[in-house]
Structures are given as structure tokens and as C-alpha cells.
Amino acid sequence: MAVLYIFQAATRPQVDNIAYSRFRDLVAQGHVKDITITSSKIDGHYLKGKKTVAFTTTQLPFPDDQLVPDLRKHHVKIVAQADNPLVAVFFQWILPIGLLFGLYFLLFRRMGPGQALQFGRSKARVYNRKEMRTDFSDVAGVDEAVAELREVVDFLKNARKYQRLGGRIPKGVLLVGPPGTGKTLLARAVAGEADVPFFYMSGSEFVEMFVGVGASRVRELFEQAKTHAPCIIFIDELDTIGKSRGGAVTFGGHDEREQTLNQLLAEMDGFDPKVGVIIMAATNRPEVLDQALMRPGRFDRMVVVDRPDLNGRIAILQVHARKVKLATDVDLRAIAAQTPGAAGAELENIVNEAALLAARRGEDSVEQRDLQEAIERVLAGLERRSRVLSPLEKDRVAHHESGHALVGVFVDHADPVHKVSIVPRGAAALGMTISVPMEDRYLLTEPELQDRLAVLLGGRAAEEIIFETVSTGSSDDLQKATDIARRMVEQFGMSPKVGPIAVTQDGSQFLDQKFPWDQQKTTSEELARKADEEVTRLVSEAYDRAKRILTEHEAALRAVADELKRVEVLDGTALRALVDRVELASDTRS
Ligand code: ADP
Ligand code: MG
Ligand code: ZN
């Protein structure tokens, strides 16, 4: 970069580098003759005494609305110039890539061919049975996946038995599921159970800076594995190399990735399944994978690793609780009940966090309250008692949260409110209302969704009733409510006006598609507009409903908010008891 700077300085005639404020003064004094504006700077000429001098100044990062009117007033000649895209491409892409190539050849020459090959050496890590103390007992809550993988273990252990009858051993097994559900863990457990070497490599390690290295790594990985058969090759984060080919061409990474992927496909096709190498891979983005990976003879087995249900979460907590000392009062079921949607990684984190909390408090075992606090830490960000709300904020937050909670109490189908809190958590959430589903839900009915909408909008409705104004505190609620309403209309066919059809409004996905023209617009603009109207209708109806409920029970709303301001946290039982008391009192009065 120093070189470039000198070059520029040497070829430029003398140019005054002036501050933006000085430039504005010069304009105001009428000394500026002409300027050329680009997005990053302003060049031009001004009168310095009798001389015309070139100057340059940097652009403000935000628009200066007064500038153009001022320039017009003083008759300055204005030239606007788009930044030269070729220059940008040169500096951002061609130059750095050129330098990298240069470096590569330099290193290559220095070390001689033998050593340079080191770059291509497979960086796969090999684990054998002794290091690999993972087996299926370390995995819980994903029983179906384990059952399918037991078969793979059996293949590896008894390859001969299966081949005797001419059956084809699967070559590739793809683990698919959200992050943290235990895909990597499962692959290790398979290797541990089968007692075979385990070649681990992460997709992102293939794609490194030197062109051609990814492909040679793949080749070496397979060569190495074949000499250790039976064994497992595990490619984690397959999507980093296995993204669908084609589409937009970019400099650098793209070609490299494509070469690596092609090599992987070639290797998978090339080897004989009888050698007993099974290739496992994991991804949480199966939708972006190149279709070629899924053809027969490649990753033809797909094992879904999903988020655990209630019993699964209990089992996972038990697995991780083995590593810590639990107090006798600990009820893991209660912890599992409060963490629907959490994956194994989060549950492990909760147990770990609880152990740290217990240690900090000087306890000799992990107690229920440690786990309880750990949930809140892991799921909602750190508890920050130090972030104090002003009394006015606290008043508003208390009514907002009471609004959510009360609508939750008075609608028929909402999940019971577990806890209302106005203790600030993390950076964004000022308060929260946690509802616990009675059981894990895979199906939701229309009335249940409508009730959820009303509960989400209860916070804002309460603010409007009590303060007659709303605040910015509802944006997250509105976002969630809109998402639900949109899915009701566009995916679940719950709008009579739109009807029982699926509406696809999104044309922006085509970048990941193989051919942009595959993505045909399936929805007319009219239907899309109607869907938008229906989303709006659902949300505003739910909002009106929340307001009606809260107006009817305003005494309870005020009472709950007052109590919250006093104690900051109310659990579900206390909440319902308080509401009953207030309702009873107002019933007897009228
Ligand atoms: P993934 O690869 O799906 O993103 P990992 O296998 O890396 O998830 O999971 C991270 C950690 O979370 C594991 O090492 C393990 O401690 C814990 N974990 C995840 N899923 C499970 C599970 N089903 N049973 C037990 N522990 C799990
Ligand atoms: Mg993983
Ligand atoms: Zn809210």
C-alpha cells in the first residue's frame, strides 16, 4: 500500500487537501470555481488570491442537504462522477489475488516441490478407538437417528455378512438437522461404536486460500482412508463445499469450491464400497446442497436429527448431569419443560452454566435454582440486574408485560403463563412473559394461533389502554405476530379470502437456485395483495381482541402491574391467584 501511495503522490500536481468545513467556507465566500463529486470525495478548483488551485476534500458519510443549493447560489460548476467500477475491481480483487499467486509461487520455489506439496496434505484428523471415547450412550433424545445409525455401525462391523448376500453397503450417510442437535456427536459415536478409525474434516477446512488445494486434500483424504478400511470419513459442515454449483460467478472462492466438490463426487463414485469406507457428512442447510451429492451411490441415506421433544430433553439433561454433582431436590423434568425448542448444545450449556453458578455460590452440589437461573442465562441472555429502569420505564414495562400475561390468562387456548418478569435481560429484552406449552406441539389449530396473536399483541394493547400512547417496546412482538399471521394466510390456508392455497411471495431465493428461470412466479400480484390485506386484518383483529379483553379486566391489569413493580417477578400460580382475587372483589362490588 505504501508503494501505491508514493506513486499517487508523485504523479499528482500540487493539490490542497482541505477539511470539509474549509471547503464549505470557500463555497460560501464564492471562491470555488468547479467541483467533481464522487461517492467518497470532492475534487475541484478554487481561487487562492489570483491563482487557481486544485483541492480535494473527503465526502461526509451522510448527505449534506445544503451543499447543492449553496453551490448553485455561487454558480459553481458541478460534475458528478460515478466511481469507476473497474478501478474498484482491480484493487479489491485482481491485485490481492495476483499477490496471493505471487506468494504461492514464491513459496513453491523456495521450498522445492516436495515441501510445497505439504499444502495439499490432508489435514484430516484421525481418531482411533482409544481417543474416541464417544458412543451411543452419550447421545440422547434423537432415538430415530440412533436407530438408523446402528445399522451403519453394523455394516462397518460385519461388512462381510452383508456382502455375502450381494447387498450393497451404503456409501454415504448425510446427517441433516438444526445446529447443536448432535450431528457431530452422532458421527463420533458411530465411529466409537464400530471401533474403527474416524477421519474428521470440516468443510470449511477444504476451502482454503490456495487454489487447487481443496481438491488435492479430498484426494489425499480418500487415499489415506482406503488404507485404514474399515473406517469412517466424516465431513462436517458439508454445505461449505457442497453448495449448489452454477449461479452467480464470483472471484476467488467459487471456482475453488467447485473443484473441491467435483473431486469429492469423483472420489465417491470411484471407490469400491467393498473396501468398507463409509462417508458421513453433516449439514444444517440441506436445501443449498448440490443435487448431485444426493444421487444413488453418493449420499443416498439421509438421517434427520431433529430438536428433541420433552422426553428427549429430559434424557439429554440426564446425560450431561452425569458429569456434575446434582442436589437431591433437582427436577430435570421441570427444566426440560421450560426449554421447548432447545437443542442438545443448549441443554449441555444450561447444565454447565448451572455448575459454574453453584461453584460461584460456594455450594457443594448443583441446585434447582442454579439450573433455573442457567436457563434464563442461556435462553434469554445474561441477567442484568445492574441495568436499572427509570421509574417511568418500569411503569410502562410492568403494564406491557401484564398485558401479555393477562391476555394469556383470559383466552382459551394459550399456553399457561409460567412467569412474568420485568428484570431486564440481555441488551434488548426489558421484560418477558414465558409461557410453557403443556406438551410439545407439532400441530396447532386456528383458534390456538389466533390466541397466540392476541397474547403477543397484549403488551402493546395494555400500553395503549393505560398510557394512551405506545412505545418502541413492542417491535419484537409485532414482528412475531406478523410472522404468525403471514404463515396463517400463506401457508396454512386460514384466510377465507385467500383460500386453502399456498402463497409464495418470495422471488429473492433464486440466487441459491441452479437456474434463475426455474423459479417461476407462482403468485399473481392480486393474490399477493389480497394476502397482505388478510395478514393485516388478522393482526388488527387480534389487537382489537386483546384490547377488549384488557379493557374488560382493567382492574386486574393494574393490580398485576403494581405487583410486578413491587416484586419484579411473578410466577404463574401467583399471577392467577392475584387475578382471581381482583376479579372476585370487583364481582361482589357490582
Ligand atoms: P451439531 O453438530 O448438530 O451442530 P454437536 O454435535 O456439535 O451439534 O453438539 C454440540 C454439543 O452439544 C455436543 O458435543 C453435546 O455435548 C451436546 N449435544 C448435542 N446434541 C446432543 C444430544 N442429542 N445428546 C446429548 N448431547 C448433545
Ligand atoms: Mg457440528
Ligand atoms: Zn411484549
Is the C-beta atom of 230 inside 6 A of ligand 1? no
Q: Give, using CA atoms, the residue closest to atom 15 of ligand 1.
A: 345
Quick check: 341 and 179 in contact, CB under 8 A? no
Number of domains into which the chain is organized: 4
In the 3-class helix/strand/coil scheme, how is 53-115 assigned residue by residue? EEEEEECCCCCCCCHHHHHHHCCCEEEECCCCHHHHHHHHHHHHHHHHHHHHHHHHHHHHHHH
Is residue 292 located within the same domain as residue 324?
no
Is the C-beta atom of 175 inside 6 A of ligand 1? no
Report every protein residue that has its C-beta within 5 angstroms of ion ligand 2: 184
Q: What does residue 362 show for φ and ψ, rounded to 5 degrees?
A: 75, 20
Going by pLDDT thresholds of 50, 70 and 90, the confidence category of residue 388 is low
Residue 14's CATH number:
3.30.720.210
Is the C-beta atom of 523 inside 6 A of ligand 1? no
Would you tell me the crossing angle of helices 446-467 and 475-490 to the nearest 10 degrees? 150
Is residue 581 located within the same domain as residue 504?
yes
Q: Give, using CA atoms, the residue closest to atom 6 of ligand 1.
A: 182
Inform me whether the pLDDT recorded for 587 exceeds 90. no
Distances in Å between the alpha carbon of 323 and those of 190, 318, 355? 22, 9, 10
Is residue 190 located within the same domain as residue 275?
yes
pLDDT in tens, 11-65: 445 788 888 888 888 888 888 888 887 777 888 888 887 788 888 888 776 777 7
Q: What integer pLDDT is reported at residue 7 of this predicted model? A: 37
Q: Give the atom of ligand 1 at the shortest distance from the alpha carbon of 138.
A: 25
Is the C-beta atom of 202 inside 6 A of ligand 1? no
- Is residue 92, in this structure, part of any structural domain at all? no
Is the C-beta atom of 237 inside 6 A of ligand 1? no
Inform me whether the pLDDT recorded for 478 exceeds 90. yes
Report the alpha-carbon distance of residue 348 to residue 364 in Å, rounded.
20
Residue 495's CATH number:
1.20.58.760
Picking from 357, 380, 403, the residue at the C-terminal end of a domain is 380
pLDDT in tens, 321-368: 998 999 988 999 989 877 766 789 989 999 999 999 999 989 899 999
**Residue 32 three-state SS:** strand
Inform me whether the pLDDT recorded for 506 exceeds 70. no
Is residue 441 located within the same domain as residue 364?
no
Is the C-beta atom of 134 inside 6 A of ligand 1? no
Is the C-beta atom of 179 inside 6 A of ligand 1? yes
Would you tell me the crossing angle of helices 368-380 and 344-361 to the nearest 10 degrees? 130
Quick check: 192 and 135 in contact, CB under 8 A? yes
534 is catalytic: no
Q: Residue 212 C-alpha to ligand 2 middle, in angstroms?
A: 26
Residue 255's CATH number:
3.40.50.300
Q: Residue 563 C-alpha to ligand 1 middle, in angstroms?
A: 41
Ligand nearest to the CA of 459: 3
Picking from 80, 114, 136, the residue at the C-terminal end of a domain is 80
Q: Residue 337 C-alpha to ligand 3 middle, in angstroms?
A: 22
Ligand nearest to the CA of 305: 1
The amino acid that residue 420 corresponds to is V
Is residue 298 located within the same domain as residue 315?
no
Is residue 176 located within the same domain as residue 286?
yes
Is residue 288 located within the same domain as residue 322?
no
- Is residue 474, in this structure, part of any structural domain at all? yes
Strand 32-37 to strand 15-17: parallel, antiparallel, or no bridges (unpaired)? unpaired
Inform me whether the pLDDT recorded for 263 exceeds 90. no
Going by pLDDT thresholds of 50, 70 and 90, the confidence category of residue 386 is very low
Take residue 28 and report the three cell numbers written for it: 460560501
Q: Give, using CA atoms, the residue closest to atom 12 of ligand 1.
A: 345
Q: Give, using CA atoms, the residue closest to atom 25 of ligand 1.
A: 139
Q: Residue 473 C-alpha to ligand 3 middle, in angstroms?
A: 7
Q: Residue 183 C-alpha to ligand 2 middle, in angstroms?
A: 6
Q: Give the atom of ligand 1 at the shortest distance from the alpha carbon of 188.
A: 6
pLDDT in tens, 193-211: 888 888 888 887 766 545 6
Is the C-beta atom of 304 inside 6 A of ligand 1? no
Which residue range(s) make up the domain with 355?
Answer: 310-380
Ligand nearest to the CA of 351: 1
Is the C-beta atom of 181 inside 6 A of ligand 1? yes
Q: What integer pLDDT is reported at residue 289 of this predicted model? A: 85
Q: Residue 346 C-alpha to ligand 2 middle, in angstroms?
A: 13
The active-site residue out of 237, 348, 376, 401 is 401
Q: What does residue 511 show for φ and ψ, rounded to 5 degrees?
A: -60, -30
- Is residue 585, in this structure, part of any structural domain at all? yes
- Is residue 214, in this structure, part of any structural domain at all? yes
Q: Residue 397 C-alpha to ligand 2 middle, in angstroms?
A: 39
Quick check: 231 and 136 in contact, CB under 8 A? no
Is the C-beta atom of 319 inside 6 A of ligand 1? yes
